[in-house]
Structure 1
Amino acid sequence: MKKRGWLYFLIFAFILGYTYTALVYNGIWFKFTDGLKTIHFLLYFVWFFVAFFLSLTLHELGHFFAFLFQGIKLRALYITVFVFHKTNKGWRFTIKPKLWVLLGGLVVPDLGEIKSDEDLEKVHKKFANSLVVAPIVTCVFLFIVILTFILSLIYSRSDNWIGFISIFTIYTILLSSLYIYSFTLSNPMFYGDFVAYKKMKEDPVFQLAQISQYTMFSLEDSDETNTYLWEKTRDTLKTIPLKNSIFHIMLLTNYLDGIIRSDQEIDLQIDKKIQHLSISHYMRNEQGLMLAYDLCYYHYKQKNVAKAYQLFDEIQRRVSKKLDPKLTTYYKKKSMHIMHIEYQDEFLEQIDNYYVGNSWIFESLMDPYETLKEYHEKLPFIEYSLPVKFEEETWCFQKSMLYHTKR
């Protein structure tokens, strides 16, 4: 391996040296350096932002038009702090300075009604196509910029133009290389476009979880869509193990939500899996904690109050201290209220106490606080009592004390 490493280094050094010599010999290198000298140092920052916004905008427009040309409506287009979003009255434009933390963009489709397996199949294929188009746009844009740069060095006589296209090309290569690298990355919370494309084509859990999540942004709520996706989620959960990955958690959360808040019928096959779940693996992140509390509501709704309260106590013991205290406090008090342990009307009336997580990103499309309020409704009260058994010796002692008192 060391010998090959030296060989690769020598080959690279030879190519670099040969290229540099050829550029100097033909005068192209001096055109390049003379062009860079024409750019004021402040313009280096300007052209960086131009390259950043142009490459990012083209990438997101790739997603946008891919959805549009396939017949899927759009709900929003995010370009860093700039948000174009659709309402019932048409398209609107807003600026959200907080979105700088994302350092990127986002396209939100309006998937419309999904009422059958055929509809779902069409949607996830179109979704997959839209995921892969944007990286292709990025690669094509990079190729065009590099080609323009090469042709400019050969044929252009304008130092100003050569200076601009040179620095713009350098920035575009750096940014596009970063984008292309990110397309191949993934972790439990993030999937690059190439990874997401593959999973959307091959992974039914990923498909269903993503599509179910995006239907919440549809302008028109459809009961038929909600019912179909819940039933599809139920059928999927019957055939897979209940893992603690983010998308398995999303599916199980959707299933539990249908039972807890929409009075859907419990599936006995899934119920057996739920009874054997250990919540210890779910205490490490926000989604897992939400699922754990939903399991409490699930048991309470089944009138298994002892199990619900036992699980509630276990959550308090096992919840990770690394989680945001505002998150843990909010869900603890909300759950106490919902399950009639201790009413928290005063706490829940103050929206400053709410934990919205990353939902603030979509506040142009929906009010995260109003959405959370819908989940504060108490479950139907179920009387909970435990039999008290006195030991015989204790009872005799009590009778003796009673006798002496009367005397």
Structure 2
Amino acid sequence: MKKYGFLIYITIVLILGIITVPLFHSGYLEALVGGFFSVPFYYHLLWFLFAYFIAVLLHELTHLIAFRIKGIRIKALLVLFFVIYEDNHKWHIKLNFKLLKLGGGMVIPQIKSIKEDLTYYKIASGISTSLIAAPIFTLVFGFIITALNLIFFYDMPHYTIFSFFIFLFTLLFTLASNVSTDLMYGDFKAYDKFKKDPLFKLSIITQYVDELSGYHLELLNSHIVKYPVSDFPNELLPILSTLFEYHIFEHIKNEPLLERARYVRMHAHLLRRFMRKEVYIPLAQYIIYYLDKNNLREDALALFENFKRNLDQQKLPALNKIYLLKQTSHVLGLSDEIVYLSRHEHVVPSRFSFIFESLPDFYNDEKALNLGYERFEKTIDDRLEN
């Protein structure tokens, strides 16, 4: 490397010279900056909107292409207020202006089921590639557009404006990719956690799977049994939520889950902890349902009272709270709320329902949940307890 050090140094100097010399000659700055301000304001606004659309579209298309290269089908593509989704082997497009609150887009992969290690690792590789490909492409695209403007097209005012906004959105998207919250992860953050945290990887993969196979259930349960019944780390909660939902509506008993549900009943602060984060409110519901399904009616109703108190303290819109209360009461058989729950404008289980409401699965899943469940047949032990 030392042998070619001087040559590399000269090459870098020449490249920097080619880029920077125009700054001091031939009216470069006047053409670049003057051209930017010479265009009427309304053109700036139009280029701002166009650049934002292009930046979001290309970012999401990179996610999509990465999935397809890895052999993963796509369920839906969301770009600003455009929703493109597959239903019954046909593609549809809708406009949902509520999605503007999302401020970007989303790609939802379609994974029917996972029945073996090979498929699991293939899906994991696809998600990992998609997570890292989009932010890297955004950086590269922003660099190329900006470089072309600075080197070749500095005397084209409209291209300069477009380039400026692309550069701005590149910075914005890159910063967002490095941010994580309780509800979502930026691409870079998600990629890093996905590679390092097996539980996070499993929960991300599971949320995209349509049907849980025996292999998948065994994989989920293998992580649950690693933790004592009294241990509820945040990384475990999405997996617990999935398992509770499955065993409630597939009518399957699971003693370790019942032990955990009973433990939550005896330690009500855990329910309060779950409900502090909106994403875990369904877990609180499932625990109540599972107690009831196992004929522990009094425990379920006592926990439901706790649920109502905690929900009242949450900073959620009133419509979300009303829906969740009516839904839980209805599923427990305490009241008949089917008319209210059947109206699409009322179906708002979370503040982020607007993201998925354009997809057929959203209302179908809520409808299936609202149909409730059958309780397990009472055993001798159940009768003795009651």
TM-score by length of 2: 0.82
The corresponding residue for 2:292 is 300
- State the secondary structure of the residue aligned to 2:109: strand
1:275 to 248, 255, 262: 262
Verify: 1:239 aligned to 2:232, yes or no. no
Contact 1:256 1:295 in 2 (8 A): yes
Deviation at 1:141, TM superposition (A): 0.5
Deviation at 1:286, TM superposition (A): 3.1
- State the secondary structure of the residue aligned to 1:108: strand
Cα gap change, 1:22 to 1:93, in 2 (>3 Å): closer
Cα gap change, 1:96 to 1:347, in 2 (>3 Å): closer
CA distance in 1, matches of 2:253, 2:374: 16
Contact 2:179 2:189 in 1 (8 A): yes
The corresponding residue for 2:187 is 193
Count of residue pairs brought into register by the alignment? 354
CA distance in 2, matches of 1:169, 1:322: 40
- Letter in structure 2 aligned against 1:51: A
How do 1:82-231 and structure 2 match up within 5 A?
A: 82-152=82-152, 159=155, 161=156, 163-216=157-210, 222=211, 225-231=212-218
How do 1:73-84 and structure 2 match up within 5 A?
A: 73-84=73-84
Cα gap change, 1:129 to 1:165, in 2 (>3 Å): same
1:326 to 304, 319, 334: 319
Contact 2:261 2:291 in 1 (8 A): no
2:280 to 273, 288, 293: 288
How do 1:18-29 and structure 2 match up within 5 A?
A: 23-29=23-29
Deviation at 1:386, TM superposition (A): 12
Deviation at 1:32, TM superposition (A): 1.7
CA distance in 1, matches of 2:166, 2:371: 51
- State the secondary structure of the residue aligned to 2:370: coil
Contact 2:84 2:92 in 1 (8 A): yes
Question: Higher Cα Rg: structure 1 or 2?
Answer: 1
Give the alignment's Cα RMSD to 1 decimal. 2.9
Deviation at 1:34, TM superposition (A): 3.8
Cα gap change, 1:145 to 1:334, in 2 (>3 Å): closer
Deviation at 1:63, TM superposition (A): 0.7
CA distance in 1, matches of 2:41, 2:371: 59
Deviation at 1:188, TM superposition (A): 0.9
Q: Give a deviation string over 1:94-146, Cα, whole Å, max 9, x none.
A: 22222111110111111243112331122111110111001111111112112
Deviates more, 1:129-138 or 1:21-30: 21-30
1:359 to 350, 353, 357: 353
Cα gap change, 1:243 to 1:95, in 2 (>3 Å): same
Contact 2:59 2:137 in 1 (8 A): yes
- State the secondary structure of the residue aligned to 1:75: strand
The corresponding residue for 1:35 is 35
Cα gap change, 1:30 to 1:377, in 2 (>3 Å): closer
Unaligned runs of 5+ in 2: 1-18, 265-269
How do 1:9-24 and structure 2 match up within 5 A?
A: 23-24=23-24
CA distance in 2, matches of 1:76, 1:378: 28
Contact 1:59 1:138 in 2 (8 A): yes
Deviation at 1:67, TM superposition (A): 0.8
Q: Give a deviation string over 1:236-286, Cα, whole Å, max 9, x none.
A: 1112464363x5332111111122111223143x54444333212123243
- Letter in structure 1 aligned against 2:246: G
Deviation at 1:20, TM superposition (A): 9.7
Verify: 1:372 aligned to 2:366, yes or no. yes
Q: Give a deviation string over 1:322-358, Cα, whole Å, max 9, x none.
A: 2333333333333333333344455445554433432
2:249 to 250, 255, 261: 261
Contact 1:284 1:323 in 2 (8 A): no
Cα gap change, 1:88 to 1:335, in 2 (>3 Å): closer
The corresponding residue for 1:338 is 331
- State the secondary structure of the residue aligned to 1:118: helix
Contact 2:323 2:349 in 1 (8 A): no
Deviates more, 1:312-321 or 1:38-47: 312-321
TM-score by length of 1: 0.78
